[in-house]
Amino acid sequence: MKVTQSQPAILLLEDGTVFRGNALGKIGTSGGEICFNTGMTGYQEIYTDPSYFGQVIVNTTSHIGNYGVVNELEEESASVKIAGMVCNEFSPIHSRKTADGSLQEYFEKAGIVGISGIDTRQIVRHIREKGVMNCIISSEILEVEALKAELAKVPPMEGLELSSQVCTQEPYFLGEESAEKKVAVLDLGVKKSILSNLTDRGCYLKVFPAKTSFAEMEAWAPDGYFISNGPGDPAVMPYAVATVKEIVENEKPTFGICLGHQILAQASGLSTYKMKNGHRGLNHPVKNLITGLSEITSQNHGFAVKMEELEANPSVELTHINLNDKTVEGLRRVDKPAFSVQHHPEASPGPHDSRYLFDSFVEML
């Protein structure tokens, strides 16, 4: 393909820090919460993960776009969900036999604004010191003061309810109807690879919108419930907490991942909080406190469950802990057949150390 000279672009952070680089994707302006992912592969899966809705992703690996994109096969949802992308070296051309096109073309079609030619190490050190914050990227407004006015319009992630914007709007089925086990999925922004991990284990799924009532899901008579990942602040999702409380009281096997983990925690009387940086990458060490074994996990979250409240709650047991910062990575109810993890056992992309959790859930059904 023809390589054209890139236009200039600006990245402006909420604290006034300015980075100048080269435009990628669509020429335009876009803002959101800036956060970084340390994964060295799997960028297309990251960009289509609904959990990243409303966020600008800094890819810390040096080269992005060099292996192109594969439509559908490496997508975690039906569309790109990120608000923008920041990287060091962006490749307008790609080399992979199975690729359907370039990342540049993919972003242009999806309307994604990005910036390259940035020292991502500097940005990451800045965010790690200052904490996550909002930002704005523009390749059309190159005046900093004008951009500040646009950035002021971007809402903070804390206090945002986003699941209802990215979940399915109508229930749908996945898997073999003749399967022995039926699982109701509460879609808060579910990834395709999570669903495939369930169908691959012989489950027939009915995926419900985020605001579906327990009564409507229970009318399908499922053998168990899965509470999915998703974007936004779990503290402003009382509708999901109320539903999961009813699910847990029903005493059918329940499994939650990421946001689903946080919702199960709230339904069990625990609180969540906004993390300074969050965890986003493919190499986060987690210890399973039940088996004593450690796992390398894929993670993507900016909120977490309060450890002190979990330790004081007799109905909840800590099952997994993050070995980097000692935050909550998993819990289970001691009085109900319900458990959850903060990390992503489907790991798409990432290591498969934690996929046994899907087996554990299916065995409970």
Q: For strands 55-59 and 84-86, give the pairing.
A: parallel
Q: Which residues contact 60 (CB under 8 A, 6 or more apart)?
A: 36, 37, 38, 120, 121, 124
Q: For residue 57, what are the contacts with CB-CB under 8 A and spacing of at least 6? A: 35, 36, 37, 46, 47, 82, 84, 85, 86
| Measured distance CA(335)–CA(110) in Å, rounded | 46
Instruction: Write the CB contacts of 330 (distance below 8 Å, at least 6 apart in sequence).
Output: 261, 286, 288, 318, 319, 320, 321, 339, 340, 341, 342, 343
Q: Is 281 annotated as a binding residue?
A: no
Report, in angstroms and rounded to the nearest whole number, the Rg of the chain calculated over CA atoms: 20
51 is in an annotated binding site: yes
* 8 A C-beta contact, residue 310 and residue 265: yes
Angle, vertex CA 318, rays to CA 33 and CA 49, nearest 5:
30
- HEC sequence for 105-142: HHHHHHCCEEEECCCHHHHHHHHHHHCCEEEEEECCCC
202 annotated to a ligand binding site: no
The secondary structure element, H or E, covering residue 172 is strand 172-174
- 300 is known to lie in a ligand binding site: yes
173 marked ligand binding residue: no
Query: For residue 179, how far is the Cα from the chain centroid?
Result: 29
Q: Is 361 annotated as a binding residue?
A: no
Catalytic site residue 14?
A: no
Q: Active site includes 126?
A: no
From the list 94, 261, 284, 344, the catalytic residue is 344
346 is catalytic: yes
List the catalytic residue out of 14, 75, 329, 346: 346
232 annotated among ligand-binding-site residues:
yes
- Spatial CB neighbours of 117, under 8 Å, sequence gap ≥ 6: 6, 21, 22, 88, 89, 90
Interatomic CA distance for residues 200 and 1, integer angstroms: 38
DSSP 200-214: TTTEEEEEE-TT--H
Beta pairing, strands 63-64 & 224-227: unpaired
Longest Cα–Cα distance of the chain, Å, equals: 63
Selecting among 258, 279, 320, 329, the annotated active-site residue is: 258
Q: Which residues are catalytic?
A: 258, 344, 346
Binding residues: 51, 230, 232, 259, 262, 300, 302-303
Binding residues for L-glutamine: 51, 230, 232, 259, 262, 300, 302-303
